Amino acid sequence: MTAQRETLGALAPAVDQFQKVTASYWPGLFHCYDVPDLPRTNNELEQYFGSARYHERRASGRKGASPGLVVRGAVRVVAAVATRDHGFDEVTLRPTDLAAWRALRRHLATRQAARCAQRRFRRDPGAYLAALEEALLRVSLPA
């Protein structure tokens, strides 16, 4: 780019700006060359997620994302991609860090409870809000 900068005419300052911005991002710009087996292009990542989406559609029969994928997508997509490369035995699947595993389970349970509350609200907003108000009054009023 620098060698052909003079041939660009009015766009020459854009080359300077591009080089300045690229230099500021340089340390983390190309992780694909530092990390082995990291896909070089976005196309490979698209293929990974696209295949997970395809198999989820085939299994659930839904055109959009299934509720299970929305709630547990962080776990299910990784599992789908990992099992495509090789199988796992029970020893490999056993959690090594129980605290991290329990934190992940709590996070997934929280997401599941939020989805459940959304569904209850959509089905009957009046009853849902009345139950919330009753629970709030029960907690805030002295016995």
Residues 17, 60, single domain; the answer is no
Q: Would you state the pLDDT for residue 106? A: 93
Q: Would you state the pLDDT for residue 25? A: 74
Cα–Cα nearest to 140, from 9, 113, 132: 132
Residues 16, 29, single domain; the answer is yes
Per-residue pLDDT of the chain (143 residues; tens, 9 = 90+): 778 877 888 888 888 888 888 887 777 677 777 778 777 777 777 887 788 788 888 878 888 777 777 777 778 777 777 777 778 888 888 888 999 989 989 998 998 899 899 999 999 999 999 999 998 888 876 66
Q: Label residue 9 left, alpha or beta by phi (over 0 means left) and psi (-120 to 50 means alpha).
A: left
Residues 132, 106, single domain; the answer is yes
Residues 48, 83, single domain; the answer is yes
Residues 34, 44, single domain; the answer is no
Residues 44, 28, single domain; the answer is no
Residues 70, 104, single domain; the answer is no
Domain count, the chain: 3
Residues 141, 101, single domain; the answer is yes
Q: Domain containing 13: what range? A: 1-38
The burial of 36, by beta-carbon neighbours within 10 Å (0-12 exposed, 13-18 middle, 19 or more buried), is given as exposed
